[in-house]
Structure 1
C-alpha cells in the first residue's frame, strides 16, 4: 500500500527512474471523462448488486427458514454459485446470454413475445447484464447469513405479534427486520465493498465494453497499469478506490453505532 501511494505521485518509468509529478496523476483521475464514467458505473453496479443480492437473499432465507429437513437439497443447490469459480460462472452466463438469436435467455424472451437482446454486446444492457450475474452469485451468501440471523430471533416475539393480530407482512416489518438490523448492516458493508472492487465478472464477460459502457474502476486501473503502462495514474486510481472504500466503511459503522444507541 505504501508503494502504491508513492507511485501515485510519480510518473513511473521502469529502468529509467521515476519522475515526481505531485498531484498530476490525481488531477488526471478527477478530470478524465473515462475515469468519471468508470466511477459512476462502479457506483451503479455496486448499488444494484448490493440491493439486489440482499433483497433476494432475504427472500430466499424467509422461504427456506425452518425447512432444513425438507429443503436441504434446495439450500445446498442455492449456495453453489458462491463456491463456484468466477471464471466458470462467467462462462456459464456467457452461454446463457449468447448467441443473440437462439441463446437460452433469448429463447425464453421469444416465448413471451419479446425480441432478442444483445445483452453483453449492447451499450444499453451490458452493465445491467453484469449486475444480474453479481446478484445471482451474491444472494446465496446473503441467504446463509440471514438464516443465521433468523435463527436468533426470539420466537415469542412472533407469538406476541400474532396474538395482537399482526399479519405476515406486519410481523416481517415489525419483528423480523428490526431483529436482523445488525446482520443487514454487516451485509450492506461487505456487499458494497465487494461491489466497489468488482473486477473479475466485468473483465471476463465484457472487458469493460462495448465502448466503455460497462467499464468499472478496477478494469480501468488494470488497463492503464498493465496494458498501457501508466502505472502512476493507475496507482492514483487505486488510492482513490481505497479512500472510497474506507469512507464507506467508516460511514456505515457510524450509522450502525447511532442506530444501536
Structure 2
C-alpha cells in the first residue's frame, strides 16, 4: 500500500528528474548534432570544459561567490538569530518580515536590486552612500565591483534562511548552561564563544552544506543582475553552461559541464557527511 501512494510521485521524479539526468550523462559523451545523428567523442567534451579559459574563469568566480555568500549569509544569519531570539509574541512579525527575501522569487530579487544599484548619483544605494560621504559607485557596471555587488545580493537573500535554522539550534540549547556560565563570571562574549557557538556546530555543518550547494548552483541572480558581464567579470559556471548549450548549441560540452558540477556538489555533500559522522563518533 505505501508504494501505491508513492507511485505517482516516483513516476514524476523518474520522468522529470532521473531520466533527464541519465540523458545528460549520455549526451556529455557525444557531439550532439540534431537531425544529423550524434557522434561518439568519449571524454573529449570533458577535456574541452577543463581546458576552456572561460570555464576556468567561471569556476573561479563561482568558487569565490560560493565562499562569500556561504560565510556571509551564516554570519549575518547568526547575528539576526541572536537579535530575534526569544518568546515575545511580537517577534513573529519581525521574523516573518526578515524571512521575506527567501520566499521571494530570485528573478524578482535580482530585478529589484538591479534598480537599487543604479550607478548614477541619484540611485537608491548611491544616495544612501552619499549621506556618509561615499560614492557614487558603479556597482554592476564595473568589472571591479560587479562580483562583490552580486555577492551582497546573495548574502541578503540567503541570510534569513540561515537565521531560521540557527534559531532552531538556539532553541535547543539548555538555558542552565548560560546561567551557570554567568554565575562563574563569564561575560556575554565568553558565553557566546564557549556555550552558543559549540552548541551550534551541528547546525553549522548543515548550513555549510546547503549554502555551498546553493552557491555553486547560483544562476538566476547573476543572469538577471549582469548576465555574466561586464567583460565576463561575473560569469559563473551556470551562466557559461547555459550560454554554451543554448546560445552556441554545443549541447555535448554543456552536458559535460553540468555533470562536472553535479560531481563536485556530490563530493562536497559526501565530504561534509563523512566529517560530521567522524565528529559524532569522536
Q: Note the C-alpha offset of 1:256.
A: 1.1
Equivalent residue, structure 2, for 1:188: 208
Deviant stretches of 4+, over 6 Å:
none
Is the aligned partner of 1:37 residue 2:57?
A: yes
Q: Name the structure 2 match of 1:106.
A: 126
Q: Distance in 2 between matches of 1:132 and 1:255?
A: 29
Structure 2 residue 254 is matched with structure 1 residue 243: no
| C-alpha separation in 2, matches of 1:110 and 1:15 | 58
Matches within 5 A, 1:1-261: 1-261=21-281
The TM-score normalised by the length of structure 2 is 0.90
Using the size of structure 1 for normalisation, the TM-score is 0.97
**5+ long unaligned stretches in structure 2:** 1-20
For 1:117-165, what per-residue CA distance to the aligned partner results, in whole angstroms no more than 9, with x for missing partners? 1111110111111111110011111111111111110111111111111
C-alpha separation in 1, matches of 2:165 and 2:135: 38
Q: CA deviation at 1:75?
A: 1.2
Distance 1:100 1:85 in 2: 26
CA drift at 1:260: 1.7
SS in 2 for 1:212: coil
Alpha-carbon distance in structure 2 between the residues aligned to 1:95 and 1:41:
23
| Greater mean deviation of Cα atoms: 171-180 or 51-60 | 171-180
Question: Residues 216-260 of structure 1: CA distance to partner in whole angstroms, max 9, x if unpaired?
Answer: 000110011011100000001001100110111111112211222
Distance 1:72 1:40 in 2: 40
SS of 2:42's partner is: coil
> Structure 1: where are the runs of 5+ without partners?
none
What is the CA–CA distance in structure 2 between the aligned matches of 1:155 and 1:219, rounded to whole Å?
A: 47
Q: CA deviation at 1:20?
A: 0.8
Using the TM superposition, name which of 232-241 and 94-103 deviates more: 94-103
How many residues were matched structurally? 261
Instruction: Report the RMSD for the aligned CA atoms in angstroms.
Output: 1.1
Residues 28 and 254 in structure 2, CA contact (< 8 A), matched pair in contact too: yes
Moved more, 173-182 or 213-222: 173-182
